[in-house]
Structure 1
Amino acid sequence: MDKASSDCPYPGCFFCVMKEANPNKRRSSVLKFFRELPSQDDDGQVLPISGLWNTAMAHPNDPEFIELGIFECMSALIWKGLKNRRWLSHDQNIYIPYYAAHIIGSYTMNVEEFAEMAVHAGVIPPLVELLRGRLTWVEQRVAVRALGHLATYATTFPSVASHGEILELSIQLAMSSLEIVYSHFYQYVDRRLSYHCDLLTRGMGGVEMESRKAEEWASQLQCWSLQLINCFAFKPEFLSTICKPEFLGKLPGMWGGLVNESSPAGIGLLRTICHHKVGRGPVSNCPGVIDSLCNIARSSDDWQYMAIDCLLWLLQDPSTCHKVIQSALPALIDLAEVTALGDHKKLGDTIINVLQECIQSPRSSITSHTKEQVEELLNSREKLKWEKNMPKEDLHIKQAAALVVKLEGNSSFSSGDISGAASKYSEALALCPMRSKKERIVLYSNRAQCHLLLQQPLSAISDATRALCLHNPVNRHAKSLWRRAQAYDMLGFAKESLLDAILYINECSISGDADVASRQNKVPEYAERFVKKQMRLAWLFRDAAGKHGGVQCEGVAGDVFSRESDDSEWETASESDVGDEGKEELGDAWKNDAVRKDRHNKSSKKEMKKQGYNVQVSEDEA
């Protein structure tokens, strides 16, 4: 190709070619450029590849370069980087395989015809070599992305699946991706490859920005690996490879979370697996996975409905029901009054129908207590129907009776009789009309607070979840979120606790909570401390840091997370943090500091403070 401009330092410059005004001449020149580029060893080759990468990202549906042979060119460049290390280390060629794989992934993510052309161009074998880790983890990231796009189409999936090692490599990468990025990049700050740093930050933000982007890319590497595996999981013949106990056991912990919140990650793959009868058997044989599904189902995770789907399918399958029923039923009982989650309409009705089938099945082996809870739930549905025909006067009498008992519970709480208060709230719930959702939300939330003080986190989670399901919108009752966050923290479930705590702060800000308003809409100090603690415990690299000894550089953002948590650091909030509303709810006892300190259950409160919980009094208003 002749030099296009006397001012351009590079013969056959791609950018000069693209300035050609004649469309036919330009296409001919671009075609020639794609054919000749892989065989050339000139300096500056990374510049046109970088430009093509920008074009692919901005216009992934434009067919021009696909028709002119960009896939063949990118495939050849990846092979060249894999086979010719001298060329790869020359000039800035080290960037080229990364950009080439990224270009393939961008042009195949939307248009099936483009994906078919990519497969015919032979892109899969070089991408598989990158997936193997023949270069570094940054190339693995874009290779798994590109293969994931190719695997989503019916016409190209067989070509991906014909390379049997892709599934195994993806499973291994999903399990080890966080450790790979941590040990190969994040941990040793002074030994980070310069081209990795450049790709991550484009030279902006320094070490702290590199570390933040490394977390994001590590999460993407794991989530994109799961997406690729998910394409295989839709085919029952691949489930035996996927459903190994070691992998299934780790899936619930593979979390997009705050770093990659748009990905359903491990729970999304579990849902696909549980949709097949072949997959439900191995899942039901992993008690830890079932417990995790219950935790996700009773959380404010955006993907909680996926966990609910898994539990429902497992219970409806006669071959797995008896294995999961003891764990799954209590969680679903707490969720039975939810109205809708996302596109799931009348989800509560579906849950109740499944619960009813479970207790009627002769094969079901559930405890008498659980059976009583299900029957109580079913009776409450009948009670709701009955209330629709009840005179308004009778309903008001029932509401008034429930209110009297609730006030008695508030009084017991104020005097330090936490168990007595919980019993009163239970009595009030039995009296309260089913249609009085606001009052029932308060009663469940109050009882959750009692369970917290009594060191009964599972019961607190149950009651807080019931309150959150009754609330409209779902999962948005601030005090119940805060109480469940503390209960999850008591059990060591950092992710679930973190999500609830963040939503609690959001809801306080939206609702104009007195606690937040008094601080001019700033985050309450106790909540900020709590969130920081949970973020540290839920840190993406926490396990890898524990295994590899922490970040090897002082002052780097993130190295604090690699240290073990010291609960003594997390002081509980002072009682002033409860806010004026909470103080008014229990009357004059809050106005006199000496009386307040005397009346509270000091031993329970002291123990809670040791563990870092904010102790709030029972509330009277939702």
Structure 2
Amino acid sequence: MTVPHFKTKYLREEEEEDPTCSNPCCFFCTMKQSDPTIRSSRLAKCFKEMPLFDDEEHVLVLSGLWNIAMTHPDDPEFPSLGIFECMASFIHKALTNPDWLLKDQNIYIPYYAAHIIGSYTMNKPEFAEKAAKSGVIPPLLDLLRGKLTWVEQRVAVRALGHLASYDRTIEYVAKFETEVVESSMNLASTCLDVVYTNLIRIKSEERKSRRLVKYQCDLLTRGAIVGVEMENRKAEEWASQLQCWSIHLLNCFAMKNLPKSVSLICNKDNNFSFLKDLCSMWGGLINKSSPAGFGLIRILCYSKTARRSVAESKQVVQSLCNLSRSSDDWQYIGIDCLLLLLQDPETKSKVIGIAAPFLMDLIEIRALRGRTRVGDSIARSLLYTYKSKSNVKDEALMKIWDLKIERKSREGSMSSEELKQRWVSAELLKQQGNERFWFGEVEAAMAKYTDALDLCPLKMRKERVVLYSNRAQSHLLVRNADAAISDCTRALSLCDPVNSHAKSLWRRSQAYDMKGMARESLMDCIVFVDVNGRMKSGKDARIKVPYYAARMISKQMSATWLFSAARSKVLFKNVDQDGEMDGSNEREEHGDYDATVIKTQSSALGGLATILEEPLMKRSKCRTRNIERTVWRRRRGFAAAPAMARAKTR
């Protein structure tokens, strides 16, 4: 069985009607009719009568209508002639008559029908209103409940999301508010497990023998003969869309601030489990335009009731903090959510202790995604309730007060000569720090960089980027990942534009990898490759990926694979009584994965190159390894390397 393709030659009006066709309601013959009046009346009759009789060409007709709806979604001809009633009837027939559904190629009909509804309601609110009045919502809800398979759920949730996004039609969907919200939440949380279990982990031979699986693969590839790898890639894309569209449907209800919807999403009785799940729902590299779970959390943060729920979950707040201090495209969403929580007196006390150390690193951002004075907004939100330093008790807030209030005021009263002298002194300290670093005295180098940062004027942003980045490299060598992340973030916040300093991105990627934060490490590494490549090769040149960065990306892509959690669940379920893995399918299709390997956190410095900023003098690349070896020996009480010792005695 193959997916039927629409034969566009039947749509050419210049062709004459087939004289051998005995069907008075033949869709293809009707489309060839040159008289608009006759064509419209016949089309209306076709849409009304098609679901009432069986015909092998129904699948071909719906495939053609799907093609037209995708390419011309704003054309009012078919919506005005009863196409929505026709599609709703086909879905209802498929759900109530299983014998008909499994006959010929009718199994494709519900998918095409729901897709056609979603395409025509995508842009035009008047089409959406006509569809809602035509009764498409109940059959779409049946598909959303999972009465067929996940591919029909995908197009059903897409269509319902379009209907719920308009003010004129959301009331029709809101009549089923509880069921829609609960179904969407369940779908968003479980769809990846379902797709992985029912498709991804099934071998190629089994896919050909199982009718339901084969028809899903045919829909994924549009009937083209491709390998399992291509089918899996397409399934990954569709599964991500299914999750993102489910979240979009929830967004539509959350934006209306409907109490029942907000209460269901922020269910405290379930320990905020869905809110926690949202933090792991990543639009990511597959759906770049979708903020996925974090987008819904930001919508919820505009609701007073939902803000309290978000603030009570430390895991959600921590995830927002991690997002705000990353190079993710949705970094600003994390910052927005934290600011909304800090501006609410009821939630500020619950959040400020967790958020302040993270936001402290962002207070010097000038602009982010079209927003200006972002850092000043963060500082004001954190210091809003304090009028003097004596009232500030938190260490992070004291540092913010010193930087944004006292030091800024102090440097504002200095002459240009005094500021220049401070810069010269800072530059000298930086060079001394570099020298100490090269000799393996990492702690001494950190102290020099810290003194230089205290002296360097605030307006010397580029110089401070270098100092923060150098100190971050020192923190990496002593394996202080948190301090390295903080310094790299400060360096990247000082850049214009934000997150454009290649070496800081790479160092933070290493630090995140050291902490086992694969998602953040991956994003930093990808941005590093882009920034570093364009800086070295030119704006329009082909970007060359360094070997060490390619290794990091490969490692983190495996850890953040869309189905990694589902794969882990299957592997753990297949553990037999002897404690051995029974995951032959997974190993064969995706490599020799092991549950312990999946969870292992490896060092960021293990075999990965490090990048040193502005060395005191030109040295060979092997010097960096010598420094790491010297640091290792010093920290364990060994004597310095002989060559280094001889250099000191001369």
The TM-score, its normalising length taken from structure 1, stands at 0.90
**Alignment check: 8 A CA contact 2:530 2:543 kept:** no
Equivalent residues in 2 for 1:137-536, closer than 5 Å: 137-163=150-176, 164-190=178-204, 191-192=206-207, 193-202=213-222, 203-234=224-255, 235-237=257-259, 238-244=261-267, 245-360=272-387, 368-379=394-405, 382-383=408-409, 387=411, 390-512=414-536, 521-536=543-558
Q: Cα deviation per residue 1:528-585 (whole Å; 9 max; x = unaligned)?
A: 111100001111101100111257266535775988346679984576x75xxx5972
Instruction: Give 2:35's aligned residue.
Output: 22
**Alignment check: 8 A CA contact 1:236 1:276 kept:** no
**Alignment check: 8 A CA contact 2:477 2:628 kept:** no
Instruction: Give 2:630's aligned residue.
Output: 601
Query: Aligned with 1:323: secondary structure?
Result: helix
Question: What is the distance in 2 between the residues matched to 1:35 and 1:604?
Answer: 83
**Alignment check: 8 A CA contact 2:514 2:602 kept:** no
Gaps of 5+ in 2: 1-15, 208-212, 572-582, 637-650
**Alignment check: 8 A CA contact 1:255 1:266 kept:** yes
Question: What is the distance in 2 between the residues matched to 1:361 and 1:280?
Answer: 29
Q: Which amino acid aligns with 1:467?
A: A
**Alignment check: 8 A CA contact 2:534 2:543 kept:** no
Q: Cα deviation per residue 1:488-537 (whole Å; 9 max; x = unaligned)?
A: 111111111100000101111100079xx9xx953111111111000011
Question: What is the distance in 1 between the residues matched to 2:553 and 2:80?
Answer: 51
**Alignment check: 8 A CA contact 2:475 2:481 kept:** yes
Q: Which amino acid aligns with 1:32?
A: K
Question: What is the distance in 2 between the residues matched to 1:592 and 1:531?
Answer: 22
**Alignment check: 8 A CA contact 2:514 2:603 kept:** no
Question: What is the distance in 1 between the residues matched to 2:391 and 2:250?
Answer: 35
Question: What is the distance in 2 between the residues matched to 1:9 and 1:449?
Answer: 80
Choose 536-545 or 198-207, whichever is displaced more: 198-207
Question: What is the distance in 1 between the residues matched to 2:510 and 2:294?
Answer: 23
Question: What is the distance in 1 between the residues matched to 2:70 and 2:621?
Answer: 64
CA gap 1:444/1:380 in 2 versus in 1, 3 angstroms: farther
Instruction: Give 1:585's aligned residue.
Output: 615
Query: Aligned with 2:301: secondary structure?
Result: helix
Q: Which amino acid aligns with 1:587?
A: M
CA gap 1:313/1:71 in 2 versus in 1, 3 angstroms: same
Q: Which amino acid aligns with 2:171?
A: P
1:552 aligns with 2:575: no
Question: What is the distance in 1 between the residues matched to 2:229 and 2:75?
Answer: 36
Query: Aligned with 1:552: secondary structure?
Result: helix
CA gap 1:404/1:524 in 2 versus in 1, 3 angstroms: same
Q: Which amino acid aligns with 2:585?
A: Q
Q: Cα deviation per residue 1:570-604 (whole Å; 9 max; x = unaligned)?
A: 984576x75xxx5972326x349689727853418
Choose 560-569 or 370-379, whichever is displaced more: 560-569
Question: What is the distance in 2 between the residues matched to 1:467 and 1:209?
Answer: 41
**Alignment check: 8 A CA contact 1:44 1:92 kept:** no
Q: Which amino acid aligns with 2:499?
A: N
Instruction: Give 2:97's aligned residue.
Output: 84
CA gap 1:381/1:115 in 2 versus in 1, 3 angstroms: farther
The TM-score, its normalising length taken from structure 2, stands at 0.86
**Alignment check: 8 A CA contact 1:60 1:106 kept:** yes
Q: Which amino acid aligns with 1:346?
A: R
1:323 CA displacement = 0.7
Query: Aligned with 1:355: secondary structure?
Result: helix
CA gap 1:339/1:380 in 2 versus in 1, 3 angstroms: farther
Question: What is the distance in 2 between the residues matched to 1:411 and 1:602?
Answer: 14
Instruction: Give 1:541's aligned residue.
Output: 563
Query: Aligned with 1:267: secondary structure?
Result: helix
**Alignment check: 8 A CA contact 2:514 2:604 kept:** no
1:85 CA displacement = 0.8
Q: Cα deviation per residue 1:195-230 (whole Å; 9 max; x = unaligned)?
A: 111111122432111000111111111110000011
CA gap 1:529/1:574 in 2 versus in 1, 3 angstroms: closer
